[in-house]
Homo-oligomer: A and B are copies of this chain.
Amino acid sequence: MTMRLGERFRVTLHGTSHGPEVGVSIEGIPAGTPIDPVGIQSQLDRRRPVGRRLATKRQEEDRLLIDSGVDHGRATGGVFRAHVANEDVRREAYDRMGNTPRPGHADYPARVRYGAEADLSGGGIFSGRMTVGLVIGGAIARELLRPLGVDLVAFTRSIAGVEAPVPETIENSDLRARAASNEVGAPDPEAARRMEKAIAEARRDGDSVGGIVEVRATGVPVGLGEPFFDSIESVIAHAVFSVPAVKAVEFGSGFAAARLRGSEHNDPFVWKDGTVVTETNHAGGILGGLATGMPIVFRVAVKPTSSIARPQRTVDLGTGLSTSLVVTGRHDPCIVPRAVVVLESVTAIALADLALRGRYLA
Protein backbone atom coordinates (compact mmCIF):
# COMPACT_ATOMS: atom_id res chain seq x y z
CA MET A 1 0.00 0.00 0.00
CA THR A 2 1.07 3.57 -0.56
CA MET A 3 -0.18 5.81 2.20
CA ARG A 4 2.21 8.61 1.29
CA LEU A 5 1.80 11.41 -1.24
CA GLY A 6 4.24 14.09 -2.34
CA GLU A 7 7.96 14.70 -2.64
CA ARG A 8 8.72 17.79 -0.55
CA PHE A 9 5.35 18.27 1.11
CA ARG A 10 4.84 14.67 2.12
CA VAL A 11 1.49 13.53 3.48
CA THR A 12 1.20 10.11 5.12
CA LEU A 13 -2.19 8.77 6.24
CA HIS A 14 -2.60 6.39 9.16
CA GLY A 15 -5.45 4.55 10.85
CA THR A 16 -8.52 2.84 9.37
CA SER A 17 -12.20 3.64 9.37
CA HIS A 18 -12.91 1.29 12.26
CA GLY A 19 -9.72 1.56 14.35
CA PRO A 20 -9.34 4.05 17.21
CA GLU A 21 -8.35 6.99 15.00
CA VAL A 22 -7.54 8.26 11.53
CA GLY A 23 -4.92 10.88 10.91
CA VAL A 24 -1.97 12.24 9.05
CA SER A 25 1.72 12.96 9.32
CA ILE A 26 3.25 15.70 7.20
CA GLU A 27 6.91 16.24 6.46
CA GLY A 28 8.20 19.33 4.73
CA ILE A 29 6.27 22.16 6.36
CA PRO A 30 8.81 24.98 6.55
CA ALA A 31 9.62 25.95 10.14
CA GLY A 32 7.68 29.04 11.17
CA THR A 33 4.62 28.40 8.99
CA PRO A 34 1.54 29.50 10.97
CA ILE A 35 -0.65 26.53 11.90
CA ASP A 36 -4.19 27.54 12.83
CA PRO A 37 -6.19 24.69 14.44
CA VAL A 38 -9.43 26.65 14.04
CA GLY A 39 -8.90 27.01 10.31
CA ILE A 40 -8.09 23.32 9.92
CA GLN A 41 -11.18 22.41 11.96
CA SER A 42 -13.38 24.53 9.70
CA GLN A 43 -12.13 22.58 6.69
CA LEU A 44 -12.81 19.30 8.49
CA ASP A 45 -16.35 20.53 9.18
CA ARG A 46 -16.91 21.00 5.44
CA ARG A 47 -16.22 17.28 4.97
CA ARG A 48 -19.08 16.19 7.23
CA PRO A 49 -22.13 14.47 5.71
CA VAL A 50 -24.90 16.53 4.14
CA GLY A 51 -27.68 17.22 6.65
CA ARG A 52 -25.46 16.73 9.66
CA ARG A 53 -23.34 19.81 9.35
CA LEU A 54 -25.87 22.05 10.99
CA ALA A 55 -26.71 19.51 13.67
CA THR A 56 -26.19 20.48 17.27
CA LYS A 57 -23.70 17.78 18.17
CA ARG A 58 -21.18 19.01 15.62
CA GLN A 59 -18.58 19.90 18.20
CA GLU A 60 -18.08 16.30 19.27
CA GLU A 61 -17.31 14.95 15.83
CA ASP A 62 -14.06 14.87 13.89
CA ARG A 63 -12.31 17.07 16.41
CA LEU A 64 -8.75 17.86 15.38
CA LEU A 65 -5.99 16.80 17.76
CA ILE A 66 -2.44 17.91 16.96
CA ASP A 67 0.26 15.59 18.32
CA SER A 68 3.54 17.07 17.17
CA GLY A 69 5.25 19.57 14.93
CA VAL A 70 3.68 22.77 16.28
CA ASP A 71 5.03 25.12 18.90
CA HIS A 72 3.38 28.42 19.82
CA GLY A 73 1.17 28.30 16.75
CA ARG A 74 3.96 27.73 14.27
CA ALA A 75 5.44 24.72 12.52
CA THR A 76 8.67 23.54 14.16
CA GLY A 77 10.12 22.10 10.96
CA GLY A 78 9.80 18.60 12.40
CA VAL A 79 7.09 16.12 11.47
CA PHE A 80 3.55 17.48 11.91
CA ARG A 81 1.15 14.85 13.18
CA ALA A 82 -2.58 15.11 13.87
CA HIS A 83 -5.61 12.85 14.12
CA VAL A 84 -9.31 12.65 14.85
CA ALA A 85 -10.86 9.90 16.93
CA ASN A 86 -13.27 7.37 15.44
CA GLU A 87 -16.02 7.86 18.00
CA ASP A 88 -18.83 5.99 16.36
CA VAL A 89 -17.47 2.68 15.13
CA ARG A 90 -20.38 0.30 14.61
CA ARG A 91 -18.69 -2.93 13.69
CA GLU A 92 -21.97 -4.82 13.65
CA ALA A 93 -23.24 -2.79 10.71
CA TYR A 94 -20.04 -2.76 8.73
CA ASP A 95 -19.19 -6.36 9.37
CA ARG A 96 -16.71 -8.31 7.32
CA MET A 97 -17.88 -8.84 3.78
CA GLY A 98 -17.71 -12.60 4.23
CA ASN A 99 -17.81 -14.33 0.87
CA THR A 100 -20.09 -11.96 -1.06
CA PRO A 101 -18.18 -9.01 -2.51
CA ARG A 102 -20.19 -5.80 -2.84
CA PRO A 103 -20.53 -4.57 -6.44
CA GLY A 104 -18.70 -1.30 -7.03
CA HIS A 105 -16.47 -1.80 -3.95
CA ALA A 106 -12.85 -2.90 -3.58
CA ASP A 107 -13.97 -6.07 -1.75
CA TYR A 108 -13.25 -8.57 -4.50
CA PRO A 109 -9.81 -7.43 -5.72
CA ALA A 110 -8.76 -6.66 -2.12
CA ARG A 111 -9.72 -10.20 -1.09
CA VAL A 112 -7.66 -11.69 -3.91
CA ARG A 113 -4.72 -9.43 -3.12
CA TYR A 114 -4.71 -9.42 0.67
CA GLY A 115 -6.62 -12.58 1.58
CA ALA A 116 -9.67 -13.22 3.71
CA GLU A 117 -7.77 -12.12 6.80
CA ALA A 118 -7.51 -8.51 5.71
CA ASP A 119 -10.06 -6.54 7.65
CA LEU A 120 -12.18 -4.72 5.14
CA SER A 121 -15.19 -3.93 7.29
CA GLY A 122 -16.45 -0.45 6.53
CA GLY A 123 -13.85 -0.14 3.86
CA GLY A 124 -10.79 -0.21 6.11
CA ILE A 125 -8.12 1.76 4.33
CA PHE A 126 -10.35 1.96 1.26
CA SER A 127 -12.80 4.00 3.28
CA GLY A 128 -13.69 7.58 2.45
CA ARG A 129 -12.94 8.26 6.10
CA MET A 130 -9.22 8.18 5.29
CA THR A 131 -9.74 11.48 3.50
CA VAL A 132 -9.82 13.22 6.90
CA GLY A 133 -6.03 13.33 6.69
CA LEU A 134 -6.18 14.83 3.22
CA VAL A 135 -8.38 17.66 4.46
CA ILE A 136 -6.00 18.39 7.34
CA GLY A 137 -3.07 18.34 4.92
CA GLY A 138 -4.93 20.52 2.46
CA ALA A 139 -5.67 23.13 5.12
CA ILE A 140 -1.97 23.43 5.89
CA ALA A 141 -1.02 23.41 2.21
CA ARG A 142 -3.47 26.26 1.60
CA GLU A 143 -1.72 28.20 4.36
CA LEU A 144 1.63 27.61 2.67
CA LEU A 145 0.31 28.81 -0.68
CA ARG A 146 -1.34 31.95 0.69
CA PRO A 147 1.79 34.19 0.66
CA LEU A 148 2.22 33.31 -3.05
CA GLY A 149 -1.25 34.68 -3.75
CA VAL A 150 -2.75 31.31 -4.59
CA ASP A 151 -6.49 31.04 -3.93
CA LEU A 152 -8.36 27.75 -4.28
CA VAL A 153 -12.03 26.99 -4.62
CA ALA A 154 -13.91 23.80 -5.47
CA PHE A 155 -17.62 23.48 -6.04
CA THR A 156 -20.27 21.10 -7.31
CA ARG A 157 -20.68 21.49 -11.04
CA SER A 158 -23.38 18.86 -11.46
CA ILE A 159 -25.24 16.14 -9.59
CA ALA A 160 -27.39 13.46 -11.23
CA GLY A 161 -27.20 15.35 -14.51
CA VAL A 162 -28.37 18.64 -12.98
CA GLU A 163 -25.82 21.23 -14.10
CA ALA A 164 -25.09 24.36 -12.08
CA PRO A 165 -24.57 27.32 -14.42
CA VAL A 166 -21.44 29.36 -13.65
CA PRO A 167 -21.01 32.92 -14.93
CA GLU A 168 -18.18 33.25 -17.45
CA THR A 169 -16.24 35.69 -15.28
CA ILE A 170 -16.67 35.19 -11.60
CA GLU A 171 -14.25 35.71 -8.75
CA ASN A 172 -13.22 32.81 -6.54
CA SER A 173 -14.56 34.62 -3.50
CA ASP A 174 -17.99 34.92 -5.11
CA LEU A 175 -17.95 31.25 -6.15
CA ARG A 176 -16.98 30.27 -2.63
CA ALA A 177 -19.77 32.26 -1.05
CA ARG A 178 -22.38 30.89 -3.43
CA ALA A 179 -21.24 27.30 -2.98
CA ALA A 180 -21.28 27.68 0.81
CA SER A 181 -24.87 28.89 0.79
CA ASN A 182 -26.34 25.44 0.22
CA GLU A 183 -25.66 21.92 1.39
CA VAL A 184 -24.68 20.49 -1.99
CA GLY A 185 -21.96 23.08 -2.64
CA ALA A 186 -23.31 24.30 -5.97
CA PRO A 187 -22.83 27.99 -6.90
CA ASP A 188 -26.44 28.42 -8.06
CA PRO A 189 -29.43 28.27 -5.69
CA GLU A 190 -31.93 26.95 -8.22
CA ALA A 191 -29.62 24.16 -9.40
CA ALA A 192 -28.81 23.38 -5.78
CA ARG A 193 -32.51 22.87 -5.01
CA ARG A 194 -32.87 20.48 -7.93
CA MET A 195 -29.73 18.60 -6.93
CA GLU A 196 -31.04 18.22 -3.37
CA LYS A 197 -34.27 16.91 -4.80
CA ALA A 198 -32.42 14.37 -6.96
CA ILE A 199 -30.45 13.21 -3.92
CA ALA A 200 -33.63 12.86 -1.86
CA GLU A 201 -35.24 10.81 -4.60
CA ALA A 202 -32.23 8.52 -4.81
CA ARG A 203 -32.29 8.06 -1.04
CA ARG A 204 -36.00 7.24 -1.16
CA ASP A 205 -35.27 4.63 -3.86
CA GLY A 206 -32.44 3.09 -1.86
CA ASP A 207 -30.19 4.27 -4.67
CA SER A 208 -27.40 6.82 -5.21
CA VAL A 209 -26.24 9.51 -7.63
CA GLY A 210 -22.92 10.90 -8.86
CA GLY A 211 -21.75 14.24 -10.17
CA ILE A 212 -18.97 16.52 -11.27
CA VAL A 213 -16.75 18.75 -9.13
CA GLU A 214 -14.83 21.69 -10.53
CA VAL A 215 -11.66 23.08 -8.95
CA ARG A 216 -10.13 26.47 -9.67
CA ALA A 217 -6.81 27.83 -8.47
CA THR A 218 -5.96 31.46 -9.14
CA GLY A 219 -2.71 33.27 -8.50
CA VAL A 220 -0.50 30.29 -9.23
CA PRO A 221 2.95 31.69 -10.08
CA VAL A 222 3.85 31.51 -13.77
CA GLY A 223 6.23 28.60 -14.37
CA LEU A 224 5.26 26.45 -11.38
CA GLY A 225 5.32 22.74 -12.26
CA GLU A 226 8.03 20.16 -12.95
CA PRO A 227 8.34 19.00 -16.53
CA PHE A 228 8.65 16.32 -17.93
CA PHE A 229 7.04 13.74 -15.67
CA ASP A 230 5.78 15.91 -12.83
CA SER A 231 3.70 18.37 -14.80
CA ILE A 232 0.93 20.12 -12.89
CA GLU A 233 -1.56 17.83 -14.63
CA SER A 234 0.36 14.69 -13.66
CA VAL A 235 0.77 15.69 -10.03
CA ILE A 236 -2.82 16.89 -9.58
CA ALA A 237 -4.28 13.89 -11.42
CA HIS A 238 -2.20 11.52 -9.31
CA ALA A 239 -3.61 13.10 -6.16
CA VAL A 240 -7.17 13.40 -7.46
CA PHE A 241 -7.42 9.72 -8.41
CA SER A 242 -6.53 8.74 -4.86
CA VAL A 243 -9.87 10.17 -3.73
CA PRO A 244 -12.38 7.30 -3.64
CA ALA A 245 -15.06 7.30 -6.40
CA VAL A 246 -13.18 9.56 -8.84
CA LYS A 247 -13.31 8.16 -12.40
CA ALA A 248 -12.16 11.01 -14.66
CA VAL A 249 -10.39 14.35 -14.76
CA GLU A 250 -10.15 16.99 -17.46
CA PHE A 251 -8.07 20.16 -17.50
CA GLY A 252 -9.24 23.32 -19.26
CA SER A 253 -11.26 22.42 -22.34
CA GLY A 254 -10.58 18.73 -21.61
CA PHE A 255 -12.46 16.27 -23.79
CA ALA A 256 -13.97 19.14 -25.77
CA ALA A 257 -10.44 19.94 -27.01
CA ALA A 258 -10.56 16.76 -29.08
CA ARG A 259 -13.14 18.36 -31.38
CA LEU A 260 -11.46 21.76 -31.77
CA ARG A 261 -8.95 22.96 -34.32
CA GLY A 262 -5.62 24.38 -33.19
CA SER A 263 -6.62 27.86 -34.32
CA GLU A 264 -9.65 27.67 -32.03
CA HIS A 265 -7.93 25.98 -29.12
CA ASN A 266 -4.66 27.91 -28.83
CA ASP A 267 -5.13 30.74 -26.34
CA PRO A 268 -3.76 34.03 -27.78
CA PHE A 269 -1.37 35.93 -25.52
CA VAL A 270 -2.26 39.54 -24.76
CA TRP A 271 -1.08 42.24 -22.41
CA LYS A 272 -3.31 43.22 -19.52
CA ASP A 273 -2.18 45.80 -16.98
CA GLY A 274 1.43 45.10 -17.90
CA THR A 275 1.05 41.39 -17.41
CA VAL A 276 0.91 38.61 -20.00
CA VAL A 277 -2.44 36.83 -19.96
CA THR A 278 -4.36 34.72 -22.47
CA GLU A 279 -7.65 35.87 -23.96
CA THR A 280 -9.22 32.46 -23.52
CA ASN A 281 -8.17 29.71 -21.11
CA HIS A 282 -8.66 26.46 -23.01
CA ALA A 283 -5.34 25.37 -21.55
CA GLY A 284 -6.81 25.47 -18.06
CA GLY A 285 -3.87 27.53 -16.89
CA ILE A 286 -1.23 24.98 -17.86
CA LEU A 287 1.15 24.77 -20.86
CA GLY A 288 3.93 22.21 -21.11
CA GLY A 289 3.04 21.14 -17.58
CA LEU A 290 3.82 24.64 -16.21
CA ALA A 291 1.44 27.28 -14.84
CA THR A 292 0.67 30.10 -17.28
CA GLY A 293 -0.60 32.43 -14.57
CA MET A 294 -4.20 32.03 -15.75
CA PRO A 295 -6.57 30.16 -13.41
CA ILE A 296 -5.88 26.44 -13.19
CA VAL A 297 -9.25 24.85 -13.91
CA PHE A 298 -10.21 21.18 -13.92
CA ARG A 299 -13.28 19.03 -13.51
CA VAL A 300 -13.56 15.66 -11.83
CA ALA A 301 -16.20 12.97 -12.31
CA VAL A 302 -17.43 11.31 -9.12
CA LYS A 303 -19.31 8.05 -9.60
CA PRO A 304 -22.56 7.37 -7.72
CA THR A 305 -21.97 5.93 -4.22
CA SER A 306 -21.36 2.19 -4.48
CA SER A 307 -23.19 1.37 -1.25
CA ILE A 308 -26.89 1.22 -2.07
CA ALA A 309 -29.79 -0.31 -0.18
CA ARG A 310 -31.25 -2.14 -3.17
CA PRO A 311 -30.59 -5.83 -3.70
CA GLN A 312 -27.65 -6.43 -6.02
CA ARG A 313 -26.43 -9.53 -7.78
CA THR A 314 -23.07 -10.87 -6.75
CA VAL A 315 -21.22 -14.14 -6.26
CA ASP A 316 -20.54 -16.34 -3.26
CA LEU A 317 -16.79 -16.95 -3.26
CA GLY A 318 -17.23 -19.90 -0.90
CA THR A 319 -19.88 -21.91 -2.71
CA GLY A 320 -19.17 -20.82 -6.28
CA LEU A 321 -22.81 -19.91 -6.72
CA SER A 322 -24.59 -16.71 -7.65
CA THR A 323 -26.37 -14.80 -4.92
CA SER A 324 -27.77 -11.39 -4.11
CA LEU A 325 -26.80 -8.87 -1.49
CA VAL A 326 -28.31 -5.91 0.35
CA VAL A 327 -25.72 -3.56 1.78
CA THR A 328 -26.74 -2.32 5.23
CA GLY A 329 -25.34 0.50 7.34
CA ARG A 330 -25.55 4.30 7.00
CA HIS A 331 -24.65 5.56 3.56
CA ASP A 332 -24.68 8.89 1.78
CA PRO A 333 -26.79 8.63 -1.37
CA CYS A 334 -24.41 11.22 -2.88
CA ILE A 335 -20.86 11.92 -1.79
CA VAL A 336 -20.26 14.72 -4.30
CA PRO A 337 -20.85 17.53 -1.74
CA ARG A 338 -18.35 15.96 0.64
CA ALA A 339 -15.86 15.31 -2.16
CA VAL A 340 -15.72 19.05 -2.86
CA VAL A 341 -13.51 19.90 0.13
CA VAL A 342 -11.44 16.75 -0.36
CA LEU A 343 -10.67 17.59 -4.00
CA GLU A 344 -9.88 21.18 -3.07
CA SER A 345 -7.55 19.80 -0.38
CA VAL A 346 -5.60 17.41 -2.61
CA THR A 347 -5.18 20.22 -5.13
CA ALA A 348 -3.68 22.39 -2.41
CA ILE A 349 -1.38 19.54 -1.41
CA ALA A 350 -0.25 19.00 -5.01
CA LEU A 351 0.40 22.70 -5.60
CA ALA A 352 2.21 23.13 -2.27
CA ASP A 353 4.44 20.20 -3.15
CA LEU A 354 5.25 21.71 -6.55
CA ALA A 355 5.80 25.13 -4.98
CA LEU A 356 8.35 23.64 -2.57
CA ARG A 357 10.01 21.65 -5.33
CA GLY A 358 10.28 24.71 -7.55
CA ARG A 359 11.50 26.81 -4.62
CA TYR A 360 8.62 29.22 -4.79
CA LEU A 361 8.52 28.62 -1.05
CA ALA A 362 11.49 28.78 1.27
Contacts and interface: CB of A to CB of B under 8 A. Distances in A.
Interface of A: 1-5, 12-16, 19-23, 25, 27, 31-32, 67-69, 71, 76-81, 83, 101, 103-110, 112-114, 117-119, 124-126, 130, 158, 160-161, 202, 205, 207-212, 222-231, 233-235, 237-242, 244, 246-255, 257-271, 274, 276, 278-279, 282-284, 287-293, 301-308, 310, 312-315, 317, 320-322, 358-359
A158 B258 contact: yes
B14 A79 contact: yes
A262 B79 contact: no
Contact of A290 (B25, B110, B130): B110
A248 B68 CA distance: 32
Instruction: Please list the 9 inter-chain residue pairs (A to B) with the smallest Cβ-Cβ separation, ordered nearest first.
Output: A106-B288, A113-B223, A248-B250, A208-B262, A109-B290, A14-B79, A104-B266, A103-B266, A233-B241
Give the copy number.
4
Contacts of A69: 14
Contact of A262 (B12, B207, B260, B301): B207
A110 B161 CA distance: 39
Among A124, A241, A290, residue most surrounded by chain B Cβ atoms (within 10 Å) = A241
Given A265-B303, A269-B108, A246 B233 contact: yes
Give the dominant DSSP class at A's interface: mixed
B228 A125 contact: yes
Contacts of A12: 12, 25, 27, 79
A206 B357 CA distance: 39
A3 B27 CA distance: 8
A61 B63 CA distance: 28
A235 B205 CA distance: 36
Contact of A312 (B210, B266, B320): B266
A116 to B, nearest CB: 11
Contacts of A312: 263, 266, 268
Nearest to A18: B71
B242 A118 contact: no
A267 B14 contact: no
Contacts of A274: 320
B322 A270 contact: yes
Contacts of A271: 315, 320-322
Contacts of A321: 271
B257 A78 contact: no
A48 B228 CA distance: 21
Contacts of A27: 3-4, 12
A361 to B, nearest CB: 11
B237 A249 contact: yes
13 contacts: A3-B27, A14-B78, A16-B78, A25-B79, A104-B265, A108-B292, A109-B293, A113-B358, A234-B238, A237-B249, A247-B255, A260-B304, A270-B315
